[in-house]
Amino acid sequence: MVVDDILIDAEGVLLDGAFGVLGEAGPRVFRPQTALAGAGLPAKAVMRFDKPDPGQMEDDGSLLDVITHEMGHCLGTGAFVWSAFGLLED
**10 vs 36, more confident:** 10
The mean of the pLDDT values for the chain is 87
Q: Read off the pTM.
A: 0.81
**For residues 65-73, average pLDDT:** 96
For residue 62, with 0-12 CB atoms within 10 Å meaning exposed, 13-18 middle and 19 or more buried, which class applies? middle
Share of the chain above pLDDT 90, in %: 59
- Asked if the model's pLDDT at residue 9 lies above 90, the reply is yes
